[in-house]
Chain A
Amino acid sequence: MNRKVLIPIASIIVFIGFVLLKLDWDGADRTHELWEALEVTAGGFLTLMIFSFLYKDNAFYKFAEHLYVGISAAYWMCVGFWSNLAQQAIPHLSQSLSEALGQPFLGYIWHYWIPVALGLILLTRLLPESMKIGWISKWTLAFIVASTAGLFITANLQANFIAQIASTMSLPLLPDWTGFGDFLSNFDLSYEGQFVKMFSNWVIIIGVISGLVYFFFSKEHTGWFGRVSRLGIWVLMVTFGAAFGYTVMGRVSLLVGRLTFLFRDWAGVIG
């Protein structure tokens, strides 16, 4: 026997062995227990298979990855079918069909056939190219692109443009200002202090403006304009640094989560 047959068979035997080790028939609900043992064992095996990629791309990783691709695609199809088709489209299109799917019929709306038709048109992309009907799927594509573009315009304008200027505008340059004398006599560098508050507002205002200046494309970045745009780059770099530091935290959390699963649930080393 060659390696191509031997390794899969050996792996399956080891897997079954581990499942049996995890299995513990003490309750009444045996299906549930079998599932639980399978779940933990499969989880552990698949995690290790993925981690093997760190050494190098190998057959175990490829197996896990291909399994993932298949399962994912089917998962999305099922979820999409039951949520949007069965619960949203069919209850407005066919009484008998919606009852067969266990959904209440919500009244016939003829124009719900439009999206179904556009959807089916999209699926013509699956037909071989030699049939030359791919152009029709552009109707659907046009619809999708146009609706997102339409949503983008007002949402971005309102949430990311007007609201952002309004928030920047509402920062006073001299917060809690009661006079220069008070400012000097109360001066300190505490986190809640007046100076830090003022400094923060200045940083935000100058930072936003200089950052925007960096994104000016139709003017040469020289002279004072260049200096402001240089400041803008620094602001962006501080931003990226902060984002990098925070992302590290996120990624490590995921690794901790996975290792906790391996040690606690799978290997049972820690309680």
Chain B
Amino acid sequence: MLLAVTQGLGPVFSWFFWITFAAGLGWLLWMSITGREVERRIIFLFMGLTVSGAVLAGIILPVQETTVVRNVFDTIEGLSEGDRVLLSLDYDPSGAPELEPMAKAVSQHCFEKKLKICYMTLWGTGGAMITDVIALAKVDFPDLVYGDDYCNVGYRAGNEAVLRVIASDFRKTFPTDVSGTSLDSLSVMNGILNCADFKYIVAIGSGRPGIKEWVEYVVEPSGALMGSGAAAVSAPQLYPYYPQQMNGMMGGSKGASEYEKMLRRVYPKFKSSRAQATEIMGPQTVAHVFLMLLIVFANISYFLAKKRKGASA
């Protein structure tokens, strides 16, 4: 595994890096055992070095597929040509490393299946994210036609209020698309009166308003079918809604990398496309190992201190 770091920086440097790093860890362990305080900036430095080292090494690890992600994939796989899908990108640049790969993979999948996508967002910053995702999807599908293959209705302020209105009347909130074209003249939106008219809704979001609000204000009142892509922070609290209120969920970069894997398994043509989430998983694993070490060290230190206290008392 460590040898993988030879890529990019040269073997001498990487060996030097990892040996120094291991020595540092040893020092940290010693500090913990002897019960001395470690300043938090040193911990920060360790964290930075760990992740930097792993990023530079470009470690790629296999991911395991799970049912909760596969449900989203299978639903899209089961739709037929021309079906309409609503893709809501409710995040900002800070959530993009986790969520953009999902949005990209779902878009690629839909366009490959010749489904029509309507993009929208509940976040002011989402407009820029939509532009980015469409640009990414167009790399593989340069012939997409605006209005026939996809459309972008953009952003509306109002959080829950937006959702509650589009659940019963889409055009009331979005009479036109992002550049003032009436939805009646876009074939993507033909016959779409409310959210339930979309065959599938995929909400990709990192906070509030996000997936929870989609369930509360769209799925419940309109009975629409929804899947989601959640930032890792909010994924655990969405489990009560699965599978009754949303039929699948991609959680964090792990979920995104699973989706990327499924997409490449079924459609090998995407193997050449960059799998952004899978790239994240390697360094992430290394960081997890480091954090587990920290927790172990901290508890060793805690128990030794308790023992010493017990002995002196």
**A–B: direct contact at CB < 8 Å:** yes
Instruction: Give the CA-CA distance A269 to B220 in the complex, in Å.
Output: 49
Known: A75-B125, A91-B175, A248-B291. A164 touches B55 (CB 8 A): no
- A to B contact number (C-beta, < 8 Å): 150
Chain B: interface residue count, which band?
A: 35 or more
Q: Say yes or no for A246: interface residue by CB 8 A criterion.
A: yes
Question: Bound state CA distance, A197 and B117, in angstroms?
Answer: 38
Residue from B124, B125, B215, B288 in contact with A159 in the complex, judged by beta carbons closer than 8 Å: B215
B235 — nearest CB in chain A belongs to which residue? Answer: A246
- In the assembled complex, A148 has its CB within 8 A of some CB on chain B: yes
B288 A249 Cβ-Cβ under 8 A: yes
Q: Which of B70-78, B151-159, B263-271 contacts A (4 or more CB under 8 A)?
A: B151-159
**Size of chain A's interface in residues, with CB distance under 8 A?**
50
Q: Is A257 located at the chain interface by the 8 A CB criterion?
A: yes
B51, CB-defined interface residue at 8 Å: yes
Interface residue? A5 (CB, 8 A) = no
CB neighbours (8 Å) of B279 from chain A are 260
Q: Does B173 contact A (CB under 8 A)?
A: yes
Verify A151–B161 contact, CB threshold 8 A.
Answer: yes
Pick from A17-25, A77-85, A229-237 the stretch touching chain B. A77-85
Contact with B along A109-150 (1 / 0, CB 8 A): 000000000000000000000000000000000000001100
> Does A59 sit at the interface, judged by CB under 8 A?
no
Interface string of A52-95 (1 = CB under 8 A from B): 00110000000000000000000110011001100110010000
**Residues A83 and B156 in contact, CB atoms below 8 Å apart:** yes
Q: Which residue of B lies closest to A77 (CB)?
A: B124
Nearest CB of A to B98, in Å: 5
Q: Give a binary string over B204-241; 1 marks a CB under 8 Å from any A CB, 0 the rest.
A: 00000000000111011100000000011101110011
Cα distance A116–B38 in the bound complex, in angstroms? 56
Q: Nearest A residue to B240 by beta-carbon distance?
A: A164
Cross-chain contact of B220 among A103, A158, A271 (Cβ < 8 A) = A158
A269 & B52 in contact (Cβ 8 Å cutoff):
no
A10 within 8 A of B: no
CB-CB nearest in chain A for B175: A106
Task: Describe B's contact surface by its main secondary structure.
Answer: helix
B225-279 CB contacts (< 8 Å) to partner A = 231-233, 235-237, 240-241, 244-245, 251-254, 279
Is the CB–CB distance between B127 and A79 below 8 Å?
yes
Cβ contact within 8 Å between B51 and A151: no
Does A2 belong to the interface (CB within 8 Å)?
Answer: no
A256 within 8 A of partner (CB): yes
State whether A160 and B216 are in contact (beta carbons under 8 Å apart), knowing that A246-B236, A249-B254, A253-B253 are contacts in the complex: yes
Residues of A within 8 A of B95 (CB): 254
Q: Which residues of B contact A83 (CB under 8 A)?
A: 127, 154-157
Name the one of A54, A246, A258 contacting B232, with C-beta atoms under 8 angstroms: A246
How far is B244's CA from A164's CA once the two chains are assembled, in angstroms? 9
B124, B158, B245, most chain A CB atoms within 10 A: B124
Q: Which residues of chain A from 255 to 271 have a CB within 8 Å of any chain B CB?
A: 255-260, 263, 269-271
Residues of chain A lying within 8 A (CB to CB) of residue B216: 155-156, 158-160
Q: List 24 A-B contacts (CB under 8 A).
A: A51-B48, A79-B127, A83-B157, A87-B154, A103-B176, A106-B175, A151-B161, A151-B164, A155-B216, A155-B217, A159-B220, A163-B245, A166-B244, A249-B253, A249-B254, A250-B98, A253-B252, A254-B97, A255-B287, A256-B287, A257-B97, A260-B55, A263-B55, A269-B8
Q: Give 17 A-B pairs besides A148-B160, A252-B284, A260-B279 with Cβ atoms closer than 8 angstroms.
A: A54-B44, A55-B41, A79-B127, A79-B157, A151-B164, A151-B217, A163-B245, A246-B232, A246-B251, A246-B252, A248-B287, A250-B253, A256-B280, A259-B55, A260-B97, A263-B56, A270-B55
User: Chain B: residues with CB nearer than 8 A to chain A?
Assistant: 8-9, 41, 44, 47-48, 51-52, 54-56, 58, 94-98, 124-125, 127, 154-158, 160-161, 164, 173, 175-176, 179-180, 182, 215-217, 219-221, 231-233, 235-237, 240-241, 244-245, 251-254, 279-280, 283-284, 287-288, 291
Closest 7 interchain pairs by CB? A257-B97, A250-B232, A155-B216, A159-B216, A79-B124, A253-B253, A243-B236
